[in-house]
């Protein structure tokens, strides 16, 4: 079997971004399946084995402290030996995984075709990537998406095959279990690990729930940051009967099942909005520090909610988030109003897939 090795990110939102390009990559390099090596495990990995294009998934389990570093180095050496023993048609380095360990695996792989995007200066990346997707400007991530999947943001598609086969059967049971009644909207309040800088303010979410009485509001997310955000929202909501907090209370499969029956998904630039956008569920995504031109939800069909400020986006093309993390005001997110969201939501009872222009 002819295969491609993909050195990629493990976050499900990142995988939604690169998913449309996988078939084209296989076709371009005459391969049938993809082997993945990802930096670490997280809940989003639960969905990857359901993708029929993926042959195997191996984890580097990146660690930099204590004895964990030793086992991490041994895993890297073992993976490198396995890579060199396999004759891959090409090695693809995700622009979201341009870390030294991934670049070294690519450079030492023995594969002559090493594909990626130059997002960082330095000899290691230039040495590891000998078939660069590079237009010489800051739109390189968008370039990769357009090069391999130019129709993805315009052509409606079926939900991607990395979702469990029984997903649609679980929806009614979940609604009953969590006392959810239609119509309801998913609030994807998370933003990934250590990504509070992506959050629309809790006060805005609470005002949205208090103001728009047409829907029930179901909060989804995971991790300590998301739980804190959910608690802040709950403390400010007066219409508590219309708010359901499922942060860290569902599996990834359950979250997908809930999305399939939702009127819409509203949320931060995150895994939740990436999933709903690629599933063609009406999706509103808040963009502040990040760019709608360079990340997944908008490219896969989400409606963009943003304000025009000269300082944004500050999460730049080299994936350096320091400006966003250190910004105490985050006016870019605060200026997105509740009324903008309400105006962009589909009317209650509108057929799935309909969305007003933001």
135, pLDDT greater than 60:
no
Quickly state the pLDDT bin for 81 (edges 50, 70, 90): very high
CA distance 259 to 264: 8
CA distances from 110 to 86, 114, 127 (A): 9, 10, 13
The answer to whether the bond into 18 is cis (omega within 30° of 0) is: no
Was domain 167-344 assigned CATH 3.30.365.10?
Answer: no
Kind plus residue range of the DSSP H or E element containing 187 = strand 184-188
CATH of domain 3-148: 3.40.50.2000
Structure tokens at 146: 């357009």
Tokens 């959050």, residue?
199
* Most confident stretch, 148-157, 207-216, 285-294: 207-216
Burial class (CB in 10 A: 0-12, 13-18, 19+), 97: buried
CA distance 358 to 355: 9
Q: What is the pLDDT of residue 154?
A: 39
Quickly state the pLDDT bin for 345 (edges 50, 70, 90): very high
Comparison of pLDDT for 187 and 251, the residue scoring more: 187
CA distances from 287 to 199, 298, 333 (A): 9, 10, 7
Instruction: Give the start-to-end residue ranges of the domains of the chain.
Output: 3-148, 167-344
Structure tokens at 210: 């208090």
């Amino acid at each position: 079997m002819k295969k491609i090795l993909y050195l990629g990110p493990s976050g499900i939102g990142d995988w939604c971004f690169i998913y449309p390009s996988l078939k084209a990559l296989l076709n371009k390099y005459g391969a049938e399946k993809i082997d993945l090596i990802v930096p670490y495990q997280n809940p989003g990995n639960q969905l990857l084995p359901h993708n029929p294009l993926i042959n195997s998934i191996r984890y580097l389990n990146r660690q930099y402290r204590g004895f964990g570093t030793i086992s991490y180095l041994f895993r890297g050496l073992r993976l490198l030996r396995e890579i060199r023993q396999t004759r891959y048609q090409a090695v693809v380095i995700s622009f979201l995984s341009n870390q030294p360990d991934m670049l070294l695996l690519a450079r030492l792989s023995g594969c002559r075709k090493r594909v990626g995007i130059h997002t960082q200066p330095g000899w290691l990346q230039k040495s590891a990537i000998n078939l660069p997707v590079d237009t010489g400007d800051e739109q390189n991530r968008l370039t990769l998406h357009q090069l391999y999947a130019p129709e993805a943001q315009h052509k409606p598609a079926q939900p991607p095959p990395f979702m469990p086969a029984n997903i649609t059967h679980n929806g009614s049971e979940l609604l009953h279990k969590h006392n959810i009644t239609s119509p309801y909207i998913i609030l994807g309040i998370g933003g990934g690990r250590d990504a509070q800088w992506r959050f629309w303010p809790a006060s805005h979410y609470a005002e949205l729930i208090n103001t728009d009485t047409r829907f029930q509001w179901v909060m989804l997310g995971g991790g300590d940051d998301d739980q804190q955000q959910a608690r802040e929202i709950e403390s400010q909501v007066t219409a508590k009967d219309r708010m359901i907090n499922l942060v860290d209370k569902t599996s990834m499969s359950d979250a997908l099942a809930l999305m399939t029956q939702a009127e819409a998904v509203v949320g931060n630039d995150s895994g939740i909005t990436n999933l709903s956008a690629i599933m063609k569920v009406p999706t509103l995504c808040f963009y502040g520090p990040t760019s709608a031109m360079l990340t997944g939800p908008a490219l896969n069909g989400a409606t963009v909610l943003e304000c025009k400020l000269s300082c944004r986006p500050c999460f730049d093309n080299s994936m350096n988030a320091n400006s966003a993390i250190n910004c105490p005001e985050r006016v870019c997110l605060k200026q997105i109003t509740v009324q903008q969201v309400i105006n962009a939501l589909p009317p209650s009872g509108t057929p799935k897939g309909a969305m007003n222009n933001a």
